Amino acid sequence: MRRQPSSRDQTTAGEDLQVLSNVLEDTPASEVTRRRLLQTAAAGAAVSAGGLGVTGVAGAAGESPKRILSTLATAESFGVTFLTEAVKRAPGTPSAGLADTLRAANTAEYDHVVALRRLGGRQTTLNFWIPDAAFGGGGAGLFESIETADTVELMGYLTGVTAFAKRGNERAARVLAEACAIESEHRAIARFAQTALGGRTQISIDRSFAPWSIRTVSGMIRALEGAGIGFGEKGAAPGRFYTFPGNPVDNGSGLRNNGRRPV
């Protein structure tokens, strides 16, 4: 029997929609794209409030260190899956000249998964529903998707850094901070790629500090779900399932980056 949504569920769902709106303000998404994502998120929030959501409605206080690490590992596994497919699709598209950039980022995402697992995290799923539109035909839209995902994920890392710092776990906090720094690099490169492919007229660095409007890793996943991504289940936008492919260096969709382990 389906659980009836409580007032807490409904309040949390509304907060999640506001969070996604705030996140989209930190990306170059057009007004049409913002409206589409928020409409998708509203549908997803209704499902989550009905008790069918993947992540539930746990607040920051209810997120254990293992949950934080596992949720980040799952999000990064999605990143590897998405970038692997983007590399496969690159030939003959505007992103062909940036294929090595995608490969280098893919290796970093995989190495983040490895580091998170070594800290105790475990992916909750290895199957991801990815909307067809997220690939943007290999053009500027692809890198808009990458920027949006990295914006959401870096906030998940800031949540993790805060949680482990509060617990006095210097090692875990630093590893997550190192990964967060690379996600920010990916975000900046994605912005540059959009200008190179005609999706932006100029690059604007208009912040002195990273955004942190999502303050739980559960909220991080819900924001990605709002963008149409499905974690182990079908998302709201047209697409299909893809399976986590493993080490991108082994399958040709990654590069042998320097510094593959945290300091």
Percent of the chain with pLDDT over 70: 76
What is the per-residue pLDDT for 200? 77
Q: Residue 53: pLDDT band by 50, 70, 90 thresholds?
A: very low
Phi, psi of 185 (to 5 degrees): -65, -45
Residues contacting residue 231 through CB under 8 Å, at least 6 positions apart: 54, 55, 74, 78, 124, 125, 128, 129, 221, 224, 225
What is the per-residue pLDDT for 2? 33
Q: Could you report the per-residue pLDDT of 15-52, keeping only the tens digit for each? A: 555 556 655 665 555 555 555 455 444 444 443 333 32
Strand ranges inside 124-248, DSSP E: 127-131, 230-231, 239-243
CB 115 within 8 A of CB 220: no
- Cα 63 off chain centre by: 18
Q: What is the distance between the alpha carbons of residues 19 and 214, in angstroms, rounded to a whole number?
A: 6
* Average pLDDT across the chain, whole number: 84
The separation between the first and the last C-alpha atoms of the chain, rounded to the nearest angstrom, is 49
Average pLDDT over residues 101-113: 98
What is the per-residue pLDDT for 28? 52
Residues facing 239 on adjacent strands: 131
What is the per-residue pLDDT for 25? 60
- Structure-block tokens of residue 261: 């382990």
pLDDT score of 65 more than 60: yes
Q: Residue 128: pLDDT band by 50, 70, 90 thresholds?
A: very high
Considering only CA atoms, which of 260, 259, 72, 34 is closest in space to residue 154? Answer: 72
Q: What is the distance between the alpha carbons of residues 4 and 2, in angstroms, rounded to a whole number?
A: 6
What CA–CA distances, in Å, run from 168 to 11, 161, 165, 174, 261?
32, 10, 5, 11, 22
What is the per-residue pLDDT for 206? 78
What is the per-residue pLDDT for 24? 60
Q: Could you report the per-residue pLDDT of 172-205, keeping only the tens digit for each? A: 999 999 999 999 999 999 999 999 999 877 777 7
What is the per-residue pLDDT for 204? 73
Range in 111-115, 130-134, 203-207, 216-220 with the lowest mean pLDDT: 203-207
Phi, psi of 2 (to 5 degrees): -75, 130
What is the per-residue pLDDT for 49? 37
Q: Could you report the per-residue pLDDT of 200-213, keeping only the tens digit for each? A: 777 777 789 999 99
What is the per-residue pLDDT for 38? 53
Q: What is the distance between the alpha carbons of residues 110 and 102, in angstroms, rounded to a whole number?
A: 12
CB 156 within 8 A of CB 72: yes
Q: Could you report the per-residue pLDDT of 205-252, keeping only the tens digit for each? A: 778 999 999 999 999 999 999 999 999 999 989 999 999 999 999 999
- Cα 124 off chain centre by: 15
What is the per-residue pLDDT for 16? 52
Q: Collapse the DSSP code of 36 into the 3-class scheme (helix H, G, I; strand E, B; otherwise coil) and give the result.
A: helix
The DSSP letter of residue 132 is G
Considering only CA atoms, which of 214, 90, 232 is closest in space to residue 149? Answer: 214
